[in-house]
Amino acid sequence: MHRIEHFIPARETSSQIPLQRFLDPLPLDILDQYLSCYTAPGELAIDPMAQTPALPIAATRLDTKSIISNFNPINALMLRGMLALPAAHDIDAATMRLGDSLKRTVPLRDHINQLYASTCGSCSGPVIVQRFVWDGDQNRPLEKYYHCPHCADDGHAPVDDSDLETLDAMESQGVHFWYLLERLAQPHDPERRLAEELLQLYTPRNLYALTDVSMKIEALFADSPLQTTLHLILLWCLDSCSKLAEAPLPRATAFRLQPPSRFVERNVWHAFEEAYRHIRQLAPSDQVAVCSDLERLVVEREAQALVLNEPLRDVADMLPPSSVSLVISAPQAYYRPFWTLSFMWSGWLWGRQKAALLKPLLRRKTMGWSWYRRTLATALKTLHRPLKPQGKMVFLLESADLTHVTNAILATIGAAFNLDRVLYQPQDTSLPRHPMQGVPGAYRLTFSKGVADQPQSGEPSPESLAPALLQSARRAITELLRERGEALHLSWLHSAVYQRWARDGLLREAMLLDREMSAADYLQQQLETSLEEGLETQALELLPEDPDDPEAPQLWWLFGQGYPPRPLGDRLEEAVREALRQEAGLEFEQLEDSIYSRFPGRFTPGPGLLEKCIQSYGVLDEASGKWRLHAEDDRENLLQESDAALVLLTNLGRRLGYEVWSREDTLQKDRVNGIDRSPRRLPRGTHLAWERGEMPSYLFAIKQTARLGDILSGSAKGWEEAQRYIVICERRQELLRFRMETGLLLRRALADGGWRFIKLNHLRALSVKRQLDRQDLTHFVGLEPLIERPEAQLPLFS
């Protein structure tokens, strides 16, 4: 059976959607590839923890049936609403009808806008304020932002007395407040106090306006499918018009949601119109035939998808045995604030019955990651029955931290699934501040069915299990560092270790400890212990990003190991050149897929490197959108360029009065004249030397790539005092710069070896200078040498 063993990057950037900051949606382009690999036409794929309707959209393209579900009514609204959006003109008509509906004899849009009426700070003409900036401690607005139709002032001004008078006319807890409170909780409910606090997340003016909109939608569109679309637009506003909207997200464990000391109050109708414009653009290009029940999905050929508002275990219970080929999802991280807000928004939109679905989550005083892991494991275990024997479960996480991915893996192991593959790529090139911290990134986790309720021969103890975990971790870390040839941060090591622990059966044993202690904390302790022991035994070392800064980030590396002959970056660069040479005429994404497939598992390239390699070696044909190898990088042109560079360096050396030795000269004299009369043997990877008596000698390596492993991994014995230069062609400059910025080992090896760069085009410029001085060479040294500074060019060539 074909399997996906390599990392697939997300490329399709999703349009802005409601509640986007709380979600981790499935990328459509990745779904396409996993569905193609693990399902066949007519088979069933499910996303039982869906956050967006991506799966049905992708599955429909491949004639695969799909089920998406979420226990949260707010997520379910997004699934149904975004999957079944009406035509744009219908959304236009519904929004127009809502805005035209009367409120106190005036259209609703005008009634709401008048709540934000003010005067221009420049011409004193009437304006409608777009947003107010509040001081929460003083409980009053300070500034207003607007566009004045009279003087065209597009700015802001301090609030004036009339603005404050408008606010004073608003009741802090008027009839709208009590109406919403009753929709959330009855007076005797434990959640009553929480509901009161949540409604304080809106200013009285915004709460009044939003309630007017929601009541009008309920009255005008009670029996219309357009109500779902309007609720989707309103949901966007409920988020964007709260005091939390522009503040940093609350911490994951926050039980009470406190407004920031400074917040923005948006004009509700302006926010509604903005949300409407976004929503009308979200209709999928391929319509999905959504059916109303499972039987129709199974029986009717034209039925393509089913949307449910059910917990995972209920979805699993309703499915026939061995009916699902693929479970694919992005399980949300533990994040209590979203569940709390969903409770409020569910009651606001539909009343207490829907809000009650979130109450069990709110009533738990202690939750945290242990609760999350155990709850998710219990739910995932129910998927054994509907999943086919050879079926797969895949988690796609685009921005997960170590805590999230660890608990997702352990929950799935606890549900008796096998971890087949961990694929990881950091979301950017930033480094953690501490060596025991990770970097969030994209994960592709693939699982297969294990044996549920497998009898255990005996339960391990933390003490008995620790030696096997430490030994397995040490092997995984050592192999990873050696095979990649890169200094790495903890997240890379974590992925390799968990992959090895799963293969060795140690994760399943560790999960038996979860009844008495936190398995996640225990395993983290074992990983950290293995690293600390690696430092103590001098198997590992920590390399600082900046040796002169004691607070600089540090990366893990093999103790005492120099620069590797073929680090991963060198191999990737070589693969890109070969792919462009052999597979000319590929689009960027096809070329990228071809390269990623050659670097499976632990060899996933770091972020940005593959793109830099393609841009360095490839040329895009604008007409066809296809990439081909740069003409200067074909074999014949490379040979000519290398020969010309040798001639150039030879002539320059002789003009400066040096004796010039090339590698060919050295080898020939060794053979013919014997060792005594030959110059010193040139170090590996170098091409030329300049020497003259007692004067400092020069070593040159001519490189037409950014692959420097042959130079930096070799010995320069006998040339310790020589000044060393790498002649690099200018088209490789940006790739080399990127590799130096992101490659700690490369920077260290260049510095330790005393290697500096000279660009080939600058040597050409130097060769035509009529009068040469040895000092002239110093002006051309570096990727950004003195000669490239405009103020230096005239005197240098005068």
In order, the DSSP letters of 188-203 are TSTTHHHHHHHHTTS-
Higher per-residue pLDDT: 691 or 241: 241
Other beta carbons within 10 Å of 186:
11
Q: What is the pLDDT of residues 500-545, one digit of tens each?
A: 999 999 999 999 998 889 999 999 999 999 999 999 999 999 999 9
Q: What is the pLDDT at residue 680?
A: 67
Other beta carbons within 10 Å of 740:
16
Print burial letters for 499-522: b (CB count within 10 Å at least 16), e (below 16). bbbbebebbbbbbbbbeeebbbeb
Q: What is the pLDDT of residues 284-319, one digit of tens each?
A: 666 888 998 898 898 888 889 999 999 999 999 999
If you average pLDDT over every residue of the chain, what do you get?
91
Of 230-239, 336-345, 407-416, 761-770, the poorest mean pLDDT is in 761-770
pLDDT at 581 over 60: yes
**Highest mean pLDDT out of 9-23, 652-666, 699-713:** 699-713
CB 705 within 8 A of CB 727: no
Alpha-carbon torsion (159, 160, 166, 168), positive or negative: positive
| Biggest CA pair distance of the chain | 108
Q: What is the pLDDT of residues 589-641, one digit of tens each?
A: 999 999 999 999 999 999 999 999 999 999 998 889 999 999 999 999 999 99
**Terminal C-alpha separation, the chain:** 70
Q: What is the pLDDT at residue 677?
A: 44
Q: What is the pLDDT of residues 340-352, one digit of tens each?
A: 999 999 999 999 9
CB 602 within 8 A of CB 496: yes
Torsion of CA 502, 504, 507, 510, to 10 degrees: 180
Other beta carbons within 10 Å of 53:
27
Confidence of residue 116 (pLDDT cuts 50, 70, 90): very high
Other beta carbons within 10 Å of 641:
16
Using only C-alpha atoms, what is the Rg of the chain? 32
Higher per-residue pLDDT: 17 or 790: 17
Residue 18 to residue 27: CA distance in whole angstroms: 16
Residue labelled with tokens 């407040």: 177
pLDDT at 229 over 70: yes
Q: What is the pLDDT at residue 453?
A: 62
- 425: exposed, middle or buried (Cβ count in 10 Å: 0-12, 13-18, 19+): buried
**Closest among 402, 403, 406, 398 to 427, alpha carbons compared:** 398
Q: What is the pLDDT of residues 554-566, one digit of tens each?
A: 999 999 999 999 9
What share of residues in the chain are helix, strand, coil (percent, to 5)? 50, 15, 35
| Mean pLDDT for the stretch of residues 651-671 | 74
